[in-house]
Chains A and B, each alone.
Chain A
Amino acid sequence: MAETTTAAAPSGTTAMRRRTRPGQTLVPLLFIAIAFVLFCVFFVGPGALGLYYSFTDYRGVGSPRWVGLDNYQRLFADEQFYAVLGRTLTYTVLSVPVHVVVALGIALLLTSAATRFQTVARVIFFIPWLISPIVAGVIWRWLFGENFGLINYLFTVVNLPTQRWETDGNLSLLVLILAGTWGGTAFNMLLFIAALKNIPKSYLEAAEIDGATSSQRFFRIVLPLLRPTMFLVVLLGTLGAMKEFALVQALNGGGPGTQNMFMVQYIYRTGFERAQIGYASAVSMVLMGILVVIAIIQMRFDRREDLA
């Protein structure tokens, strides 16, 4: 029954094209059964409790008192919240494209028939992803510490003015993007490599015979075929960037001051550190709402491309 409504829903021709069969409800249900049970047990329950807390003044102990929308009102009245949200969005908008381009570029180099040393390079690109944020934080401070870092030392050697990598808000955001790219590339790179390996060679060979240049082959054949993976990488990257926490914490603590404080850090700082679980839950729910909206928007693009 559910199946008929779906087919009728304006979800696009793909759904219409598919034959509706009775097994089509039960079968997918069985396929997702385990995930569904685990989802309910380990996410719905705790998430619902979090939602409830967001309407209370819960402080971690004792019994929560219902305060209605107080936490949300306080949140939307807090100027710092908007600053933090803006900064988080800025970081996301800047970092996701960099992550994607770098990872895709490296994946192309690593799968190209025209390059050498690929195995060694793959291991090299993989290593940064293994290093824990706290260690990554100290490595990048050795590099970009404004007082005694290597980069500033090199700048003085070549007579350039030293830069305030830590106490200038924008420069420290830049360092954060660099460090994040360094640490996160392996993940996206592996996804792209798996997808690139899946592109039938015959397509590219045929195009080459037809005289397509390499950039034509990339934009006309490779990129369209990479779309599903691209969508995956961009959406996961966006969600990840919006929740960036461990690396910022290790690198500059959201500094200078609170200029580069992101959402999750704001939740910790204003909520958990002050034992205001109610308020922290409210901010978390707002964050989740924003992320859901982002995900839905991106999924719309995904569907449109699907039809094309």
Chain B
Amino acid sequence: MRARAVSIPLTLLLVLVALGFLFPALWFLLSSFKPGSELFSLPLSLFPRTWTLSGYETAWTRFDFWRYFYNTGLVAVITTALTVIVSALTGYAFAKFRSWWLRAFFLCILATTMLPTEVIMPSTFAIIRDLGLYNTLAGIIVPSIITATGIFMFRQYFRTIPDELLEAARIDGASEFRIFTRIMFPLARPIAVTLAIFSVQWRWNDYIWPLIVLNDPNRYTLQLALRSIVGADNINWSVLLSASVISLIPMVILFAVFQRYIMNADINSGLKD
């Protein structure tokens, strides 16, 4: 019963959809091996007529990728750890406690995603500066900790966990914080991993906060550097494509490693009957 037979039609469907998704990405990857003169020449071809690494060479010499990987990685890891903790705490409160002000605050948290960045950017900058966070990596980390998505994810997840479990622990005399750290948070591991992947991706691709906060090029993050490829009048496409591919590699590896933690999250067995 467990070892269900492989369904050929379903597998075929999966393969077809995956190919559909792969195709544009593959074109992107293969184009990065084309010389600049071939990128836009007709007829368009999927495979490069002449393979070249010149885009990669230019990108690699032009950007200090190791430094950017380090800076971005540091920011991503610290922010992600804090985001997961704060989101779990807040989402738990939203899911397991009821009051009008919690609901109101939940709406407020959602509202943080509703204003265009430019509207709040100038005044956010003033706050960063007055807190002494200008030109520090902490200045990128602190404002990025709360995310509506992360809090929302934990809220929805904790709601699926039956209240009986909570009540039972309370009757056993466990403190609220202990219930959270020992019972609830471990149960939410798949969401924690999912959010961690999201958060790393957000920080990896973020340029708004680095742009506002950083001044010193030694602290630059990846996207800030990559953006400089797009000039006023022209874009060096072969460098942009190559640099983009390089910048994606760590994320793809990270995902390939961590995705099984979401997949293997078989934790509900003890929950209900």
Contacts and interface: CB of A to CB of B under 8 A. Distances in A.
B255 to A, nearest CB: 5
B218 interface: no
Contacts of A140: 24
Contact of B11 (A28, A117, A272, A306): A117
Contact of A135 (B204, B244, B268): B244
A229 B96 CA distance: 16
- Which of A24, A149, A185, A205 counts the most chain B CB atoms within 10 A? A24
Interface stretch (B54-62, B70-78, B256-264): B256-264
Nearest to B248: A130
Contacts of A143: 24, 27
Interface string B41-64: 011100000000000000000000
Given A139-B24, A200-B269, A50 B123 contact: yes
A281 B93 CA distance: 32
B265 A198 contact: yes
B136 interface: no
Interface in A30-49: 31-32, 34-36, 38-39, 41-43, 45-47, 49
Contacts of B182: none
Contacts of A84: none
B24, B255, B265, most chain A CB atoms within 10 A: B24
Interface string B210-221: 000000000000
Contact of B116 (A112, A205, A267): A267
A127 B18 CA distance: 11
Contacts of B7: 112, 114-115
B233 interface: no
A245 B115 CA distance: 13
B97 interface: yes
Nearest to A114: B7
Contacts of A18: 98, 163
A7 to B, nearest CB: 8
A134 B93 contact: no
B256 A123 contact: yes
Interface string B186-209: 000011011001100100110000
A117 B97 contact: no
A295 interface: yes
Contacts of A215: none
Contact of B25 (A23, A124, A191): A124
Given A111-B263, A135-B240, A149-B44, 13 more contacts: A2-B101, A28-B93, A35-B89, A43-B108, A50-B123, A117-B11, A139-B27, A148-B44, A198-B267, A205-B1, A232-B153, A245-B116, A295-B111
Give 6 nearest A-B pairs by CB, closest first. Answer: A46-B120, A31-B93, A114-B7, A28-B97, A46-B123, A228-B156
Interface of A: 2-3, 5-6, 9, 11, 14-15, 18, 23-25, 27-28, 31-32, 34-36, 38-39, 41-43, 45-47, 49-50, 60, 105-106, 109-132, 134-136, 138-140, 142-143, 148-150, 153, 182, 185, 187, 190-191, 193-195, 197-200, 202, 205, 225, 228-229, 231-232, 235-236, 239, 243, 245, 264, 267-268, 272, 280-281, 284, 287-288, 291-292, 295-296, 299, 306
11 contacts: A18-B163, A24-B99, A28-B96, A35-B87, A35-B109, A39-B109, A114-B6, A115-B7, A138-B237, A195-B160, A197-B266
